[in-house]
Amino acid sequence: AQSVTQLDSQVPVFEEAPVELRCNYSSSVSVYLFWYVQYPNQGLQLLLKYLSGSTLVKGINGFEAEFNKSQTSFHLRKPSVHISDTAEYFCAVSDLSTDKLIFGTGTRLQVFP
Amino acid sequence: GAGVSQTPSNKVTEKGKYVELRCDPISGHTALYWYRQSLGQGPEFLIYFQGTGAADDSGLPNDRFFAVRPEGSVSTLKIQRTERGDSAVYLCASSLSSGGQNEQFFGPGTRLTVL
């Protein structure tokens, strides 16, 4: 069975600063990895996904993530955040034999002016 | 185009009552998923449909929970004898087809409160 750990429940950061949101996963099989964002009062929206190939994945809104198989991590990064990036971010995993997503508990990114 | 829609957006009920939550997926999407998100937690998988059939219902917590998708489009999640612990946001998602690599598009959710 898979599991996802997001160690940081909240990450405060000033506008235009870089940010990294951490995600570690556990699985005995190959996985697909995802980052979703949930803006206030909105549904979950896919930021980016890793399926195979290049370990550096670029997504929407300037976000990117790097898959590290040896460390079982998929950390999300952005070099310069904006106020509008304030939201809840969820890391998720699915394996190659199932469609269900296993989510972490989320990280609330709060960007201050 | 229209995204995934869910009705009602909010539902307040009393302990022991029966509720139905509806999901309208994106037109043409054959796969449909239900998740439950409790306060401060990530979404938790409940059930997944491919077409009309439930391909994986391993996340349903007990036999009070049941879901249908009779015509392969709209789905209804049914909860019998509701309990206070059922209070959560119920999320529906759809994808073009089955396969873990396909993006799941989420609806805004139904907030269920059991008093």
Q: What is the 3-state secondary structure (H, E, C) of chain B?
A: CCCCEEECCEEEECCCCCEEEEEECCCCCCEEEEEEECCCCCCEEEEEEECCEEEECCCCCCCCEEEECCCCCCEEEEECCCCHHHCEEEEEEEECCCCCCCCCEECCCEEEEEC
| Count of other CB atoms within 10 angstroms of residue A13 | 17
Pick the closest to residue B42 from A41, A21, A92, A39 (CA basis). Answer: A92
Search chain B and give the residue with CA nearest A42: B108
What pLDDT shows up at residue B1? 57
Could you tell me whether strands B75-79 and A102-103 are parallel, antiparallel, or unpaired per DSSP bridges? unpaired
| Count of other CB atoms within 10 angstroms of residue B5 | 15
Q: Answer yes or no: is pLDDT of A28 > 90.
A: no
Contact A101, A94 (CB under 8 A): yes
Query: With bands split at pLDDT 50, 70 and 90, how would you rate the model's confidence at B98?
Result: confident
The string of pLDDT tens digits covering residues B13-35 is: 999 999 999 999 999 999 999 99
What 3-state class would DSSP assign to A100?
A: coil
Smallest Cα distance from B56 to chain A, Å = 8
A26 touches chain B (CB under 8 A): no
The string of pLDDT tens digits covering residues B45-79 is: 999 999 999 889 999 999 999 999 999 999 999 99
Contact across the interface for A100 and B41, Cβ inside 8 Å:
no
What pLDDT shows up at residue B25? 97
Q: Which two tokens stand for residue A77?
A: 């990064």
Give the Cα separation of A31 and A86 in Å (integer).
28
**Dihedral sign, CA of A89, A38, B15, B69?**
negative
Smallest Cα distance from A98 to chain B, Å = 6
Smallest Cα distance from A10 to chain B, Å = 11
Contact across the interface for B99 and A90, Cβ inside 8 Å:
no
Q: Answer yes or no: is pLDDT of A25 > 80.
A: yes
Return the DSSP state at A43.
Answer: -
Give the Cα separation of A77 and A48 in Å (integer).
11
Give the Cα separation of B30 and B55 in Å (integer).
12
Contact across the interface for B43 and A101, Cβ inside 8 Å:
yes
Contact across the interface for B104 and A46, Cβ inside 8 Å:
yes
Contact B3, B93 (CB under 8 A): no
A101 touches chain B (CB under 8 A): yes
- Nearest-by-Cβ selection for A103 from B3, B42, B58: B42
Give the Cα separation of A101 and B45 in Å (integer).
7
Q: What is the mean pLDDT of chain A?
A: 93
| Count of other CB atoms within 10 angstroms of residue B64 | 14
